[in-house]
């Protein structure tokens, strides 16, 4: 009898310490710069999936010796009368920005980013819920870590907003080496695991075995963690065995002009016009896409190895009707709900 009570006690203790996600907040990234408005289909996706949070790339920050730090790829998107939608301004900052800099320049950078975000929010996103969070997206390295972390602290001080940042799998696995960013929360980016130009035999967007190398045991990260999942595909074009460009649009039509030569790889079998360039007979294309089964397999790996809080945001990358047409609404909805099962 004592053994039974002891077993019950241990079981209760175990389940009381469970970190199962109880509430999934649904969100999605919007990464396009040239659209003034969401398409009807994209608006319908938000409505049907009951997505209330949208991470919008407001702009990117680049750097060169002539101009210093400067914004590029500014969003053209506008929203009016969207009181039920939470907008999170997101800024992609190239790692070069934090090389060979100083505190004075970083102070100016934080001040300029805060100013530009607020200007865009006022001009383009009227009558939405008040903006509470800024997100910074940067692939920092050991050599840029200190400058990036100083910038994050300064932005928090200036903006008075909640600050989040993206977190790649390497710094997630090695926080003692890569540091923990001084933000309110981080979003774990579970994609783009492999350099697409270096490994030609694997899907660089999401490879399950590569994912398991980083998520190989249960870990509790020092910050609250949210999760980002890929729902996009691309075609890498090679001409004369040299990388030429990436194609995002028109993939279904392009596939009609291709023949498969090995896993992931295709050859152009007839000349095809794509936007402003030609695909010629003999060109090679690496086509990387993700089935819903592959994404759900990744979700199980993530659930098994990442220690979540009860309330967690799951974000899909990204809101594009052509990319999301590869999945049914039921499949998209499951990418969220599977985290709480």
Find the length of the chain. Answer: 341
- Kindly state the tokens that stand for 231: 């729902």
Which neighbouring-strand residues pair with 288?
A: 234
Report how far residue 27's alpha carbon sits from residue 151's, in angstroms, rounded to the nearest whole number: 26
How is residue 314 written in tokens? 């799951």
Give the residue among 273, 305, 78, 271 at the shortest CA–CA distance from 190: 305
Could you write out the DSSP letters of every residue in 46-100? HHHHT--EEEEEEEEEEEETTTEEEEES-----B-SBTT-EEEEEEEE-GGGGSS
Q: In this predicted structure, what is the pLDDT of residue 84? A: 84
Nearest of 318, 293, 310 to residue 17 by alpha carbon: 310
Give yes or no for a contact between 68 and 101, defined as CB atoms under 8 angstroms apart. Answer: no
Q: Which CATH fold would you assign to the domain 20-232+291-340?
A: TIM Barrel (3.20.20)
Crossing angle of helices 329-337 and 292-305, in 10° steps, is 10
pTM for the full predicted model = 0.93
Do 274 and 281 meet the contact criterion of CB atoms below 8 Å apart? no
Rounded-to-integer distance, Cα 325 and Cα 231, Å: 10
Supply the pLDDT for residue 68.
93
Render each residue's pLDDT in the chain as its tens digit; 341 residues.
Answer: 444 444 434 444 444 344 579 999 999 999 999 889 999 999 999 999 999 999 999 999 999 998 899 999 999 999 876 668 999 999 999 999 999 999 999 999 999 999 999 999 999 887 788 999 999 999 999 999 999 999 999 999 999 999 999 999 999 999 999 999 999 999 999 999 999 888 899 999 999 999 999 999 999 999 999 999 999 999 999 999 999 999 998 898 999 999 999 999 999 999 998 877 899 999 999 999 999 999 999 999 999 999 999 999 999 999 999 999 999 999 999 999 999 99
pLDDT value, residue 81 = 62
Of 222, 246, 227, residue with least CA distance to 236: 246
DSSP per position, 224-242? EEEEEEE---EEEEEETTE
Phi and psi of 158, rounded to 5°? Answer: -75, -45
Give the integer Cα–Cα distance in Å for 231 and 314.
12
The per-residue b/e assignment along 256-267, b for 16 or more CB within 10 angstroms, e otherwise, is: ebbeeeeebbbb
Is the distance from CB of 105 to CB of 147 less than 8 angstroms? no
In the chain, domain spans: 20-232+291-340, 234-288
Q: How far is CA 101 from the centre of its chain?
A: 27
- The pLDDT, as a whole number, for residue 5 is 41
Q: 16 Cβ partners below 8 Å, 6+ apart?
A: none
């Amino acid at each position: 009898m004592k053994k039974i009570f002891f077993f019950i006690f241990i079981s209760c203790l175990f389940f009381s310490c469970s970190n199962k996600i109880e509430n999934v907040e649904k969100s999605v990234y919007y990464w396009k710069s040239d659209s003034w408005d969401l398409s009807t289909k994209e608006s319908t996706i938000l409505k049907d999936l009951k997505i209330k949070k949208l991470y919008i790339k407001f702009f990117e920050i680049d750097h060169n010796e002539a101009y210093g730090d400067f914004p590029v790829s500014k969003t053209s998107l506008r929203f009016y009368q969207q009181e039920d939608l939470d907008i999170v301004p997101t800024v992609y900052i190239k790692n070069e920005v934090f090389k060979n800099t100083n505190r004075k320049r970083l102070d100016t950078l934080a001040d300029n980013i805060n100013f530009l975000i607020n200007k865009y929010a006022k001009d383009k996103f009227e009558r939405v819920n008040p903006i509470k969070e800024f997100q910074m997206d940067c692939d920092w390295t050991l050599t840029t870590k200190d400058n990036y972390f100083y910038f994050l602290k300064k932005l928090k001080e200036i903006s008075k907003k909640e600050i989040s940042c993206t977190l790649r799998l390497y710094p997630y696995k090695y926080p003692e080496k890569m540091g923990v960013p001084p933000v309110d929360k981080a979003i774990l980016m579970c994609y783009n695991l492999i350099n697409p130009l270096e490994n030609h035999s694997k899907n660089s967007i999401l490879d399950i075995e590569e994912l398991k190398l980083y998520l190989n045991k249960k870990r509790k990260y020092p910050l609250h963690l949210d999760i980002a999942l890929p729902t996009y595909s691309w075609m890498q074009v090679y001409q004369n065995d040299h990388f030429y460009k990436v194609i995002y649009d028109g993939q279904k039509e392009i596939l009609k002009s291709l023949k498969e030569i090995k896993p992931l790889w295709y050859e152009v079998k007839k000349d095809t016009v794509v936007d402003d360039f030609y695909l010629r007979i003999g060109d090679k294309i690496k086509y990387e896409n993700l089935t819903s089964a592959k994404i759900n397999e990744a979700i199980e790996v993530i659930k098994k190895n990442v220690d979540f809080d009860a309330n967690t945001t799951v974000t899909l990358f990204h809101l594009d009707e052509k990319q999301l047409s590869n999945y049914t609404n039921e499949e998209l909805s499951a990418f969220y709900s599977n985290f709480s099962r």
